Amino acid sequence: MKHFWIKERHNPQLGVYYVACGQLTKVEARKQEKPIYGDNVMHEFESEAAYNKRLEELRKEGHKIQ
């Protein structure tokens, strides 16, 4: 079963930003938690509505979204 995911990316040069990943399996999402450079934290959402709501909250808070 695929859920919706937002990646919180911690890049030492660029700072913290978020990536809207859409639907992924847990296996696919967990693979993205181990980048070559920096750190990633994957946030899981069971519904598209919750996912979109969180993306909107992040935008309102002034965070960068890719």
Residue 1 has pLDDT above 90, yes or no: no
Nearest to 12 by CA among 42, 39, 41, 43: 39
- Higher pLDDT: 45 or 37? It is 45
Q: List, for residues 3-17, the tens digit of each pLDDT value.
A: 999 999 999 999 999
Find the mean pLDDT for residues 28-32.
94
Nearest to 53 by CA among 42, 61, 30, 40: 61
